Every structure is written in structure tokens, then in C-alpha cells.
């Protein structure tokens, strides 16, 4: 029998999670029932939103999440042994899936494109950035952009995609000098700053003194306040996440003190939920695959090797240890 391992949450964290909030559970991998297929996971996605899930989701079950796997055995007529499959069964080495149910779909392996990109810039991370830029912000060539948490998965994807869309000046915030250098030296940002160096609004004003037209906002709190301050009249904000409050021991950060500027500057602030745009996946791949093959674009990733490194990877990501998308490499 094949052994399956799952990471199960056993307690609610108080602030930053610790390994004591989880346990690894080993069992025999299940045989597929009629209409299902057994998948061995190759890569798992670890994301900031998992911290929110820990406050609300069921205990003693694996955390849900995006995964890329290979079919080992199938009784699903739509899936054959060896097929590559995307699913959301979460933090486990093996999963039972059914094609078309709960977002399960076959993955096309593109020559010259690493499989890991299907959970990075070609996956939900890249799709979030693409939807924020093309649907929510409707970014036009020449418009100036600000991205918060720009060295994370969505932030790096947003910078690369915005450049392909013809954006003007692209500015990002990050949590260290090393990440600032990565943004300007590797990803293609025109300017970036370490948000620890002062108020976000003041740092943005120095990095983009003429203001910005659009914002991809991943942080909330003072970052959202700074974004509102830096926007020109008629600017737009695509609000993707609020990582500033995920591990807060106190109440969530207060609303931005300049929130009324949304009215006085005729701004538009709209939330982005990528699950509402699954029909855009094919468009994203058509847009990006040629650039990934040519090397013009890369999938920015921090990869932890080995399934049992998932907890250290997750906790480290919440502390800002990763650059780009954090992935767990389970097996080849």
C-alpha cells in the first residue's frame, strides 16, 4: 500500500501559528471509487490566506489549498493514469478527485515552462494579478502603478504582467532591502521601498512623486492609507488581501484615516476574488506562455523541498521569508 500523509490543523493559533497547531497523520492511500481518481501531489501552494482559514475552518482536517498532482490510478472516465491535475484538496501527499468537481481540471504541460508555474504565475496567484490589472483596474498603457507586498507571489506577478501590458512607472513596497533590490533588479519594478523606513504615504511620494493611477493592494492598514494618499484624481484600487491583520493579536487595523479621500478624489476601490474569474484561466495562459517560453517572464518562486517542510515554509512565509510564490515540492 502507498502511504498518504496529511497536515491537519489541531488548534486555533493565537497570533503567529506554530508547529504545535498541526499534526502529520499517516494512513494508507485510498483506492479510487467509481468516478474518482487517485492523485499523487507534486507541488502544493502555501498562501497568506491560509492564516485566515485557520481561524474559521474545521479542525482535524487538512487545510484546503491549491495543488498540482499526477494521476496514479483512475476510475474517472475523464482522467487517465499519468494525467496532470489541478485540485484544491490541500495539504496532503495524495488526494481523491473527480474531473470538473470543486475546480478539478487537467493541466497542460507546456514545453519550456516549469510545472511549478501552474501554481505560480500561471496559477491562482498569476490569475489574481491578471484579473486585478485587466478586469478591476483596466490598466491602460502608460498608466503608473503601485503594488503593495510587491515581493510576494501576487506582487511579483503583478509587476511582470503590468510591464507586459505597457504600464508606465511601476512602484512597489516590500519588507526588506534585499526584496527591494530583487524587485528593481529582477522583476522589473522602476522603484521600490522598504515600508519599515517610514510612513507608506511619504515613501510612496518619494518613489512616485507625480502620483499613481492604479494600485494592487495586498496589505491593508497603513498601506491602504498610503495608496489612497498617492493616487491621482480618478484613480483605482484593486484590493486583493490584508496580510497586515492576518496574525494580529489585537483587533484588525483601524480604517485608513484618509478614507474620505475616496470620495473627494473620485477614487474607485473594488475587491478582487479570483474564484469569480475561473473562466479567464485560458486567456491568462494564452497571454503568458509565449513570454515564459522566451524567457521574457519568469515565475518568481521560493520552493521548499519535501512535504514535511510545509509547516516551516508556511510559518516562514507569514514572517516574510519568501520572495515570490511559496511552493512545497512534494515529489518529481
Q: Do domains 3-120+299-329 and 124-275 have the same CATH topology?
A: no
**pLDDT given at position 254:** 66
Give the pLDDT confidence score for residue 106 in this predicted structure: 96
Per CATH, the number for 124-275 is 3.40.50.720
- Would you give the DSSP letter of residue 89? B
Q: For the segment 87-129, what is each residue's pLDDT rounded down to a tens digit?
A: 999 899 999 999 999 889 999 999 999 999 999 999 999 999 9
Beta 145-147 vs 212-217: how paired, if at all?
parallel
Q: Return all residues near 317 (Cβ < 8 A) that are at least 6 apart.
A: 46, 48, 302, 326
pLDDT of residue 248: 54
Antiparallel, parallel or unpaired: β 191-194 and 301-305: unpaired
* Number of other CB atoms surrounding residue 111 within 10 Å: 6
Reference 90, options 1, 9, 2; nearest CA is: 9
CB 243 within 8 A of CB 276: no
The whole-angstrom separation of Cα 178 and Cα 74 is 46
User: How many whole angstroms separate alpha carbon 262 and alpha carbon 314?
Assistant: 35
Number of H helices, E strands in the chain: 9, 15
Cell numbers placing 25: 497523520
How high is the pLDDT of residue 242? 80
Cα 200 to Cα 138, 180, 238: the distances in Å are 24, 14, 17
CA dihedral defined by 152, 271, 132, 49, rounded to 10 degrees? 30
- State residue 104 phi and psi, 5-degree precision: -70, 130
Q: Residues 226-235: pLDDT tens digits? A: 999 999 999 9
Q: In the chain, where are the structural domains located? A: 3-120+299-329, 124-275
SS3 331: coil
Q: What is the DSSP letter of 77?
A: T
Set of cell numbers at residue 102: 470543486
The CATH number for 3-120+299-329, chosen from 3.30.2130.30, 3.30.1330.10, 3.40.50.720, 3.90.180.10, is: 3.90.180.10
State residue 147's pLDDT score. 98
Cell numbers for 84: 496532470
At how many degrees (to 10) do helices 124-131 and 153-164 cross?
50
Tens-of-pLDDT digits for all 332 residues of the chain? 689 999 999 999 988 899 999 999 999 999 999 999 999 999 999 988 899 889 988 999 988 899 999 999 999 999 999 999 999 998 999 999 999 998 899 999 999 999 999 999 999 999 999 999 999 999 999 999 999 999 999 999 999 999 999 999 999 999 999 999 999 999 999 999 999 999 999 999 999 999 999 999 999 999 999 999 999 999 999 999 887 666 554 456 667 899 999 999 999 999 999 999 999 999 999 999 999 999 999 999 999 999 999 999 999 998 889 999 999 999 98
Q: What is the pLDDT of residue 250?
A: 47
Residues 90 and 67: their CA atoms lie apart, in Å, by: 6
Whether residue 63 contacts residue 57, with contact meaning beta carbons closer than 8 Å, is answered with yes
Amino acid at each position: 500500500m502507498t502511504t498518504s500523509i496529511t497536515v491537519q490543523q489541531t488548534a486555533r493559533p493565537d497570533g503567529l501559528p506554530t508547529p504545535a497547531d498541526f499534526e502529520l497523520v499517516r494512513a494508507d492511500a485510498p483506492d479510487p471509487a467509481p468516478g474518482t481518481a487517485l492523485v499523487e501531489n507534486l507541488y502544493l501552494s502555501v498562501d497568506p490566506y491560509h492564516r485566515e482559514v485557520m481561524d474559521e475552518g474545521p479542525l482535524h482536517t487538512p487545510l484546503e489549498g491549491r495543488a498540482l498532482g499526477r494521476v496514479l490510478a483512475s476510475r474517472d472516465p475523464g482522467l487517465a493514469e499519468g494525467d496532470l491535475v489541478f485540485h484544491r484538496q490541500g495539504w496532503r501527499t495524495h488526494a481523491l478527485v473527480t474531473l470538473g468537481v470543486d475546480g478539478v481540471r487537467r493541466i497542460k504541460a507546456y514545453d519550456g515552462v516549469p510545472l511549478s508555474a501552474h501554481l505560480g504565475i500561471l496559477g491562482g496567484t498569476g490569475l489574481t494579478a491578471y484579473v486585478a490589472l485587466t478586469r478591476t483596474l483596466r490598466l491602460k498603457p502608460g498608466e503608473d502603478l503601485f503594488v503593495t507586498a510587491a515581493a510576494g507571489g501576487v506582487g511579483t506577478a503583478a509587476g511582470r504582467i503590468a510591464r507586459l501590458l505597457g504600464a508606465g512607472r511601476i512602484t512597489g513596497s516590500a519588507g526588506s532591502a534585499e526584496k527591494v533590490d530583487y524587485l528593481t533588479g529582477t522583476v522589473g519594478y522602476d522603484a521600490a521601498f522598504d515600508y519599515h523606513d517610514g510612513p507608506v504615504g511619504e515613501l510612496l511620494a518619494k518613489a512616485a512623486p507625480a502620483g499613481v493611477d492604479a494600485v494592487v493592494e495586498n496589505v491593508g492598514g497603513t498601506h491602504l492609507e498610503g495608496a489612497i494618499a498617492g493616487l491621482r484624481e480618478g484613480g483605482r484600487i484593486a484590493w486583493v488581501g490584508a496580510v497586515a491583520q492576518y496574525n494580529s493579536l489585537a483587533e484588525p487595523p483601524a480604517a485608513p484615516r484618509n478614507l474620505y479621500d475616496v470620495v473627494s478624489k473620485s477614487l474607485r476601490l473594488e475587491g478582487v476574488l479570483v474564484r469569480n474569474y475561473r473562466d479567464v484561466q485560458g486567456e491568462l495562459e494564452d497571454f503568458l506562455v509565449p513570454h515564459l517560453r522566451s524567457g521574457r517572464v519568469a515565475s518568481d518562486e521560493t520552493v521548499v523541498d519535501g512535504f514535511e517542510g510545509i509547516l516551516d515554509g508556511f510559518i516562514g512565509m507569514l514572517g516574510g521569508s519568501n520572495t515570490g510564490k511559496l511552493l512545497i515540492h512534494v515529489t518529481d
